[in-house]
Amino acid sequence: MENDNRINDPYFLTDEKKSSNAYSQLLHQIIDDIVSSINNDKAYIGLSPQELKEAIHVENLLPEKGLGLGAVSSLLKEKVLPYFLKTSSTDYLAHLHGPSLIETIAAELIISTFNQSMDSWDQSPVATEIELEVIDMLCKLFGYSKGSDGSFTSGGSQSNLTGIMLARDWFCNTKLCHDVKKHGLPDNYKKLRLYTSEISHFSMEKSCHLLGLGYEGVVKVPVDLNQKMDVAELERLMVQDVEQGNIPFCVVATIGTTDYGSIDSVKEISQLCKKYGVWLHADAAYGSGVIMSEKYRCRIGDLSLCDSITVDFHKMFVMPISCSAILVKNGNNFEALTLHADYLNREEDEEDGYTNLVGKSMQTTRRFDALKVWLAFQVRGKNGWSEMISTCIENAEYFYTNLASNPKFEVTVKPEISSVVFRVLPQASDKLDADTLNKKIRRQLIHQQGVVIGQTVYNGFVHLKFTLLNPLLTHDKLDELIALILNMAENA
């Protein structure tokens, strides 16, 4: 009889009462289990990799007979929920990976339940129209005027890839009179050069590899003491390449580097791009959120000077992964991605007002991530967003100032956004060198205290990193973390 019940578990949410009841009961049970699993503020339970492997192991992942919804929800409560990293914890400060606003978690449930695919209007009617409105609003938010456009993507890497691909095709079409879409790369493609900060995101190299230009097509520009692109060096490298017969086609300005949150000067770089006739892309995956702060938005510069902008909503905007967008000043450049298929985006449908978004995306099947932005912007409003983002920036300033005034720490770059890179200095009696000491502190924080922080390298030395994306963090909490780290250093 028990097996019969398992077989009779509904497949989908439909208009049948049995189906809607099963859906509601399962979700309510899982919600209760999730809430009960978050019973402290620690970011992680502390298990080592081997301990975690043993804890989550099940003997038969694909049983001969299904266990049914009820039994598997119990297994989920036992084997999975207790071990999740809690990104909403104020003890989680490691990466550009933040908590999720409650309303955007609700949006995820809606997105998954209705399972719209954003490639054609007939697969996502209301979702298509919502995304169009959100993109229009985002273009205006970042200062773009009529004729601009954009598309949601899976993340900053895909947004950067899209921006660089559009830059390549635009340059080849307008400057080299060569249609890459029809004829492939031009004969002199090995001479094409993209310029970006030496500490920019690795997606620049990945993108140039995928686009057939290779790592050699990426010119890494030195940074100054504040970890910003050295614009004088940028021009020197561009001039040098032209003299050597190479072809500059794109510059990528980083608006918030991964480690330091440093912001390249869009104004100065845009002047060079106009001078040399190249595309300017802004990788603002991190720093785009600063636009929401009335007090600090001036720090990121005028991004409307850029030909394209990467915006990530699963970083400073604290929305669930994945949620990103690529914005383009001239929407006509999306023509590089347009290809009509009789089974998908028929031309006669588009002539009659049906918008098929596949023509602006590298993806075909794509999630309705725009709903998260639509919902969160309306829930929080300008004031709410300004307060959240400003709080994170001011927490970073407070934390940096405290570390800088303490001789037991060494700090690097003064934060412009919300990342602070530092290291603990060994005292005279310490047995460990600085690198070993800082590595040990990070590991002990994870496994003994449930506190998760970042680690990087600055000037050849191991450093620790706090990425402060959680507006619930208080100055008292930051003081407690400083004291905890010092205590670990003294007892290392």
Question: Tell me: the pLDDT tens digits for 20-52?
Answer: 999 999 999 999 999 999 999 999 999 999 999
355: left (phi over 0), alpha (psi -120 to 50) or beta: beta
| Percentage of the chain exceeding pLDDT 70 | 96
Q: Which residue has the higher pLDDT, 469 or 428?
A: 469
Distance of alpha carbon 341 from alpha carbon 350, whole angstroms = 12
Please tell me the number of Cα atoms within 13 Å of 43 on its side-chain side.
22
pLDDT tens digits, one per residue of 108-136: 999 999 999 999 898 999 999 999 999 99
Q: What is the radius of gyration, based on Cα positions, of the chain?
A: 25
Q: What does the DSSP 8-state code read for residue 426?
A: P
Would the pLDDT of 342 be above 90?
no
Report the run of H or E that residue 422 belongs to, with start and end. strand 419-424
Q: What confidence tier does 471 reach under pLDDT thresholds 50, 70, 90?
A: very high
The pTM is what? 0.95
Which residue, 93, 94, 84, 77, is CA-closest to 36?
77
The count of C-alpha atoms lying within 13 angstroms of the C-alpha of 84, restricted to the half-sphere facing its C-beta, is 19
pLDDT of residue 338: 85
Cα separation, 68 vs 55, in Å, equals 22
Q: Which residue has the tokens 């578990």?
A: 9
Looking at residue 5, its pLDDT comes to 47
Which pair of structure tokens corresponds to residue 285? 């995956």
